Amino acid sequence: MLREIITYPNKLLRTKSVDVEKFDNELHTLLDDMYETMIANQGVGLAAIQVAIPLNILVICLPDENEMQNKEDVIEAINPKITHKDGVQVFLEGCLSVPGFNEEVKRAEHIVVEYKDRFGKEQKMETSDFLAVAWQHEMEHLDGHLFIEKLSLNKRKKFEKEYKRQQKTKKL
């Protein structure tokens, strides 16, 4: 089932999510819904708080070499924690909760993350490049933050201007 994605400046996006304790059918339905909602909106990652559920859950599904996002490639992470990060990379990011805006963000190049899968089994992943960007972006949502908060003052002003312009456009 598709869920509604909440967008900036909805205050719910500032909620710090809490850990999942039950790895039950309700969780599995939420994960399936999050995947469906992410794909339907042309996203590559989605955190539960973006569908107004304040739980430490995220899904990531990067396109393969044929630009296909296969369900079997989806990463489902429950209660994730970054246990190591190093290096620096800059990537042009967007966010389903900040539609119509892209900006370069500086993040760690390489990370190690520990999390649980949908059955509560411990998982560990070491990754870099775009997948590391996606992890860091989604985990920021779980902390109640958006990528636009990381921008320099000038870029932030550019965002505010663009946001106001979009708001005006909607009123026509």
Rounded to a whole number of angstroms, the minimum distance from the CB of residue 14 to Co ion is 13
Rounded to a whole number of angstroms, the minimum distance from the CB of residue 6 to Co ion is 11
Active-site position among 93, 103, 138, 140: 138
Whose CA is closest to 56, among 40, 73, 76?
76
Q: Of 23-31, 72-80, 92-100, 125-133, which part binds Co ion (CB under 5 A)?
A: 92-100
What is the total count of residues that contact Co ion (CB under 5 A)?
1
Q: Of 90-98, 102-110, 127-135, 156-164, which part binds Co ion (CB under 5 A)?
A: 90-98
Q: Within the chain, how many helices (H) and strands (E) appear? A: 3, 7
User: Contact 102/96 with Cβ under 8 angstroms?
Assistant: no
How are beta strands 110-116 and 75-86 bridged, if at all? antiparallel
Active site residue 138: yes
Nearer to Co ion, 106 or 121 (CB): 106
Q: Judged by CB under 5 A, does residue 95 bind Co ion?
A: yes
Nearer to Co ion, 42 or 66 (CB): 42
Instruction: Compute the distance between CA of residue 96 and CA of residue 102 in angstroms, rounded to an integer.
Output: 11
User: Contact 159/146 with Cβ under 8 angstroms?
Assistant: no
Instruction: Compute the distance between CA of residue 134 and CA of residue 118 in angstroms, rounded to an integer.
Output: 19
Q: Of 9-17, 51-59, 68-76, 91-99, which part binds Co ion (CB under 5 A)?
A: 91-99
Whose CA is closest to 33, among 70, 2, 74?
2
Rounded to a whole number of angstroms, the minimum distance from the CB of residue 137 to Co ion is 6
Angle at 59 between CA 166 and CA 7, to 5 degrees: 20
Nearer to Co ion, 48 or 95 (CB): 95
Which residue's CB atom is positioned nearest to Co ion? 95
Nearer to Co ion, 50 or 79 (CB): 50
- Which amino acids are annotated catalytic? 138
Question: Binding residues for Co ion, per CB under 5 A?
Answer: 95
